[in-house]
Structures are given as structure tokens and as C-alpha cells.
Structure 1
């Protein structure tokens, strides 16, 4: 799979994402449901702790990708939902720590929402991946 960043401006690069990416040669596509801070039984973890929830949601995303024989380097699009956008952005260094080693900056959208499906959850991340 060949990824070519498309950035008519460079401001988004400072925030850790490309405006778009041209994907060529991808043969498998994985569309992941939103991953949150739940354990293997679906029980919410770390109520009202944004940083811990982002970390666990990323762990869960990586587990789904791994089960499909992929990793974060295969992610081509992210959708992120947060009940407090400012608090999520304060903790976005976690995103860089996870995606940075893979040298990818997938296009993303971050939306503020009034709540998520399970009370106490603050952060949800969905992804599209290709291999």
C-alpha cells in the first residue's frame, strides 16, 4: 500500500494529521467500530478520566487491528468523539506517542458530543484501515 499525504496547507501537520491521503494498492479494508475505554467484557473503565480513557481506547483499537493482522500503520482515517474537546486535546500527546512510531498521520475528525453511549465514557475513536 502506498500512502501519499495531501496537504495544501501545513497547519494540520503541527496537530498530527494530514488533510488527506491518497491510498494506492490497498487490497484489504477494515472498518472499525468506535473503541472506548471498556475491558474485555465491555465494562467501562476509568470513569471521567480522559487521559486513561484515551489510552485504553487506543489499546482496544490496536487489539482490533491486531486481530485483523494490521497495526496503527494501516490506519487511513480516524473519527474521534469526545465529551470535552479541550480536555481531549490536552491529552492528544497520547495519539502522537502511538501513531508517531509508525510514521503515519491519518486524516481525522474530532467532534465534541454531549455524551457517549455509556455514562462515564468521555472518548471514542473509530478507524478505517487498509492493507
Structure 2
């Protein structure tokens, strides 16, 4: 059974940021709740890199997790971003758009600046919910 997604945006300003104020789904048969994905290598060690590199590796890890479960970024309806620097995150936001736009992913989303993540080297963590 296919899941139909309806993007709900009462305004237009969020469109340039590639996210939706809300995403409604109907007839979903499965929901995948993903733990936060960060710039970690296959052995669970944080990869020290700049914000852009950490965003890229975090998305790589998220896509690996989604693929293992039979999903793609196109199935994602919610992304939460946790970062230690909103300024640095927005300076690299083109990478976020570059990962989402080709997949047709327009998730509801929240960006939160935090004091620290699980490891001091980490600057960003991405949490996702996907449906199919």
C-alpha cells in the first residue's frame, strides 16, 4: 500500500529552506523512528571534521540506516537537527538542501542548538521519522 503525503504550508517562507510546516500521511503501513545520526565511523568513533563534513557524514549514516530498513530519504516525513552552532549549520545549509531536494523529501523539521552532543567532537545530529 502506498503512503500519500500532503505538505501543509500556510506560508511560503519555509519553501526556500526545503522543509514543511507539517506533513500529513494516510494509509501508511510502517513507520520507522530513527535515532539521531551523527558523524560516526563504522566502529562508532566520532569523525572530527568541519560542520559541512559532519552534515554530509550524518546524512550518509542516515541513508545507510534507511536503506537497511527498506526506506529512502523520500520516505522521511520528519527531520530534527541538533547542532552545537546554528550559525555554522546555516553556513553549510546548502548541503542539507542538496541531499533532500533530489529525493523529493520535504519533511517537517526542527532545528535546535544544544550545548553539546554525545561526544565533544560532534557538531550535528539528525533524527528522522519515515513512513511507507
Corresponding residue for residue 79 of structure 1: 80
1:94-128 deviation per Cα after TM superposition (whole angstroms, max 9, x unaligned):
11111111112101000001111101100000000
Q: Equivalent residues in 2 for 1:14-29 (5 A)?
A: 14-29=16-31
Structure 1 Cα separation of the partners of residues 35 and 7 of structure 2? 25
State TM-score, norm by structure 2.
Answer: 0.96
The SS at the match of 2:38 is: coil
User: Which segments of 5 or more consecutive residues in structure 2 lack a partner in the other structure?
Assistant: none
State the shift of 1:15 in Å. 1.2
Instruction: Compute the RMSD of aligned alpha carbons.
Output: 0.8
Structure 2 Cα separation of the partners of residues 11 and 100 of structure 1? 16
- From the two aligned structures, give the one with the greater strand fraction: 2
The SS at the match of 1:119 is: coil
State TM-score, norm by structure 1.
Answer: 0.96
Structure 2 Cα separation of the partners of residues 71 and 92 of structure 1? 20
User: Which segments of 5 or more consecutive residues in structure 1 lack a partner in the other structure?
Assistant: none
Is 1:33 the equivalent of 2:35?
yes
Structure 2 Cα separation of the partners of residues 101 and 95 of structure 1? 11
Corresponding residue for residue 104 of structure 1: 105
Structure 1 Cα separation of the partners of residues 46 and 13 of structure 2? 35
State the shift of 1:20 in Å. 0.4
- Check the 8 A contact 2:17/2:97 in 1, yes or no: no
State the shift of 1:25 in Å. 1.4
State the shift of 1:46 in Å. 2.4
